[in-house]
Chains A and B, each alone.
Chain A
């Protein structure tokens, strides 16, 4: 039963080979859907291109349905999968800073690596910026630590937060995604095209 490597069904030595192969697929998919272009990514915020919304939500919905289905079929133990801890205020403030960074820079870390790979100089500068940002965080860690470690709610999922069955949550998320897709197509039809 999965996950295979933590349960010793695939020897741990394969871990890094698996990492490179998964990375290649991840990078290929992102580049092929246009995620190496900052102007395409930024389109979601101005209504001229919703590729980010469509790719991101389709992936999230497919993944969550698939993982819970594999769990239902006993191919995978969902309780063994890594759920990151929820540090409430760190997640909110960190997310907000990332939101401003996204609008200013036009990339996120994964997409900037794709941009670097195909020769976008703006992607390279963004990646240098990322490392400077990480450096600033690390150097001021003693000041930020109390906030960084505060409001820890543990490794919780929406099942705990909403006290609902995961299957209902997944159904609701799927409906929200489909409505968002329809809404985004309607918005796009109203907005002046941007060529890039």
Chain B
């Protein structure tokens, strides 16, 4: 028994239990607000705010930033920004209660931390770009979209995971 515990250092919830609770949360979110969950929207607000404070005229003249700056609106004053702050708080709580708080780079023993971080940066850039083109990420477009049977949600989900399987071979050294 003790040995088994040592092997599985990370003891997570049963995925069906977690999925069930997440499903209930999505229902509650739609029931209260009429919209689903999201994640990339908050980061977009962050980018708009940073660009607007560094180069205000540039941001106001750009067709994309200006969508979120109409009538002197403050882009951080946004439902998704508050939700994302909650996500960080909630994840911190869960990590703290299970002893998973630790400053580290997680990577396969076959690769270096440096390689992991370079790929994390490239992956982040691509994901950020893709999430803007598709008007949402895995939570906002795919998961919340599927919950209301939105066609876009299913297309985005299939595109993300289908492409993932197509390119998995080329990234295998990073993970297995």
Q: A residues within 8 Å of B by Cβ?
A: 2-6, 10, 15-16, 18-34, 36-40, 42-46, 48, 50-51, 54-64, 66-67, 70, 75-76, 78, 80-88, 90-110, 112-123, 125-139, 141-142, 144-145, 147-148, 153, 155-161, 166, 169-170, 194-196
Contacts and interface: CB of A to CB of B under 8 A. Distances in A.
Contacts of A103: 123, 164, 167-168, 170-171
Interface in B104-143: 104-108, 116-117, 119-139, 141-143
Nearest to A137: B132
A132 B120 CA distance: 12
Nearest to A45: B168
Contact-residue bracket for chain B: 35 or more
Say whether chain B's binding surface is mostly helix, strand, loop, or mixed: helix
Say whether chain A's binding surface is mostly helix, strand, loop, or mixed: helix
Contacts of A31: 90-91, 94-95, 100
9 contacts: A26-B86, A56-B143, A60-B147, A61-B23, A92-B155, A109-B43, A120-B106, A134-B43, A135-B128
Contacts of B133: 90, 93-94, 97, 137, 144, 147-148
Contacts of B74: none
Contacts of B145: 83-84
B150 A95 contact: no
B159 A99 contact: yes
Contacts of B39: 108-110, 113
A48 B176 CA distance: 9
A6 to B, nearest CB: 4
A82 B138 CA distance: 16
A98 B126 CA distance: 6
Contacts of A21: 86
A48 B108 CA distance: 14
A127 B124 contact: yes
Across the A-B interface, give the 4 residue pairs with the lowest CB-CB distance, nearest first.
A105-B123, A129-B124, A23-B86, A133-B128
A103 B46 CA distance: 25
B96 to A, nearest CB: 8
A110 B138 CA distance: 8
Given A99-B164, A130-B40, A80 B34 contact: yes
Contacts of A67: 27, 30, 147-148
B4 interface: no
A133 B15 contact: no
A90 B134 contact: yes
A142 B36 CA distance: 29
Interface string B79-97: 1101111111111111100
B2 interface: no
Given A120-B105, A131-B128, A4 B147 contact: no
B26 A59 contact: yes
Given A30-B18, A75-B31, A126-B120, 5 more contacts: A4-B33, A36-B91, A84-B145, A97-B130, A138-B64
